[in-house]
Amino acid sequence: MGRVRADRIWRKELPALSFVLGAVMVVLSVTADASHSFHKYSVAYETSAGTAYTAVQVVRSDGSFSISSGSSCTTHFTTPVVYQTQWVVMTSDAQNWVEIGTGHQCDGFRYWFWGTGQGGVWYPLGTADNVGTNTHTFTIRREAGKDWVYRVDGVHKMTLVWQITGLFDSVGLESYDGHAVAGSHTYRQLSRQINEGAWELWAGFDNKRVDGPEMCGGWNSASEWRAAENSSC
Amino acid sequence: MELCLRVACRGEFIVLSKRSVSFALSLLTVGAASLGILLVTQSAHHSSNLIADTTSVVRSPGSTGEGAVDIVAAPLDVSGRCNDAGLARARSHGRVDGVAGAFATTASEFAVWQETRHGPTGPRSISPWRSRPGGEPIALCYYDGLFEGFPRAPRLDGAPHQPYERIAIVVSSDATTIDAVGPRDRLEVRGP
């Protein structure tokens, strides 16, 4: 009797069970991958003023966001993380850019960062911790035809020498945390320079990208963008 | 309790008894455990293989052990730094499949390299390593895997980005710093 049952298991039940086991493993692996792939934006673009953007400037507060558990409280750029940030982007495929912003990780670990992307590779250039939640003016501006100068409230953070101009400016929220709660906040006095000319407010309502359903965003005016995540805006 | 499964190709039913269902659950448990062991084994296998391929370090004929880089003439323990602090830092940014390269250098040499590596027309800035003692030994470690969470400019067409599959980490005696992160085909393994 026992021998017959063992034979039955090997011939008939084992293949079925193997199929079930395989299906479970596939589901588990897909679920595990999906949990690490969240990357969404709520951003505004300024594209219509020409093809020689040389500055972007924003006045905004550093938000107090709720970030999911798991990110480091001491190591920058670890997921889950949310960025309030701004870029001058040199190519439409976004392989070359300069950037300054604020990173939000666990329990109020909030920091400014600045860096550059070149050929699709990102190079961090600096960070500053303990930045609080006050309002600041964040600026990246090219000077003397080649010097990209990063400033916060007019205070110099870094100079990057790069003889290049931008194709467009962009500003907003970038998230690697699908469960973060970033209340509605505003990016004010959005400004740009063309060929190192005078500061001018964004004017065109040119373009936007709001990756739903988590992200929220919209224009308050042509030079003011509001953004949020898992919160109305 | 009986559970019926229909086998599509032959159109017959297989009846699983309570004992069979219990057996299936046991098999699932064993399978999951085996998969875990397999993943850990594969991870270790990848790491040791890639570390063995590490470039720019001097090797002796023998190996010092599994997963280690064997340094003879380098003045700095590159293997220790890349296998310990550097690896831990890389893992904090994602999945590490292995070490793709390791370089022993000094703060002054590395600063010059950082400032000139993109050529006369590429971006360059004053290296933070200029403020360190020039002779301070540092290691530059490259890791392959999948790394996420870094600020990235949004494409104008909204298309997804190419994943970051390689990270370069500088390991000094007291800290680890990200030098660069990017797609494997765009971030070349090279050093001073």
Cβ distance of A168 and B126 shorter than 8 Å: no
**Which residues in chain B come in under a pLDDT of 70?**
1-75
Give the residue, A67 or B50, on which the prediction is more confident.
A67
Alpha helices in B67-176 (DSSP H): 78-83, 85-91, 107-116
Give the residue, A71 or B19, on which the prediction is more confident.
A71
Sort A44 into a burial class: Cβ within 10 Å, 0-12 / 13-18 / 19+.
buried
Cα gap B174→A14, rounded to integer Å: 55
Q: What is the DSSP string of B27-56?
A: HHHHHHHHHHHHHHHHHHHHHHHHHHT--S
Angle formed by the axes of helices A14-34 and B18-52, to 10°? 50
Q: How far is CA B164 from CA A100, A122, B147, in A?
A: 20, 9, 5
A133: pLDDT confidence band, cut at 50, 70 and 90?
A: very high
> What is the model's pLDDT at position B119?
93
Q: Produce one character per residue of A161-177: b if its CB has 16 or more CB atoms within 10 Å, e if not.
A: bbebbbbbbbbbbbbbb
- Indicate whether A129 pLDDT > 70: yes
> What is the model's pLDDT at position A22?
46
Structural tokens at position A113:
């960062």
- Contacts B171 to A, Cβ<8 Å: none
Question: Measured on CA atoms in the order A87, B171, B189, B94, is the torsion positive or negative?
Answer: negative
CA A80 to chain centre: 11
H or E stretch covering A213: none
Nearest to B102 by CA among B47, B155, B153: B47
Cβ neighbours of residue B29 under 8 Å, at least 6 residues apart? none
The C-alpha angle with vertex A228 and arms to A100 and A131, in degrees rounded to 5, equals: 40
Cα gap B104→B127, rounded to integer Å: 17
> What is the model's pLDDT at position B75?
60
Cα gap B125→A100, rounded to integer Å: 15
Q: What is the DSSP string of A182-193?
A: EEEEEEEEEEEE
Cα gap A31→A89, rounded to integer Å: 34
> What is the model's pLDDT at position A51?
86
The C-alpha angle with vertex A206 and arms to A172 and A119, in degrees rounded to 5, equals: 60
> What is the model's pLDDT at position B2?
38
> What is the model's pLDDT at position A45?
98
The helix/strand/coil state of B10 is coil
> What is the model's pLDDT at position B27?
47
Q: What is the pTM of this model?
A: 0.77
Q: What is the mean pLDDT of chain A?
A: 89
- Contacts B124 to A, Cβ<8 Å: 160-162
Which of B148, B154, B186 lies nearest to residue A119, judging by beta carbons? B186
- Contacts A113 to B, Cβ<8 Å: 151
Mind listing the pLDDT tens digit for each residue in A9-66?
555 555 554 545 444 444 444 434 444 589 999 999 999 998 899 999 999 999 999 9
For residue A223, the distance in angstroms to the closest alpha carbon of chain B comes to: 19
ipTM of the complex: 0.85
Mind listing the pLDDT tens digit for each residue in A89-128?
999 999 999 999 999 999 889 999 999 999 999 999 999 9
Chain B interface, best mutation among A31, A123, A177, by max B CB count within 10 A: A123
First-to-last C-alpha distance (Å) of chain B: 69
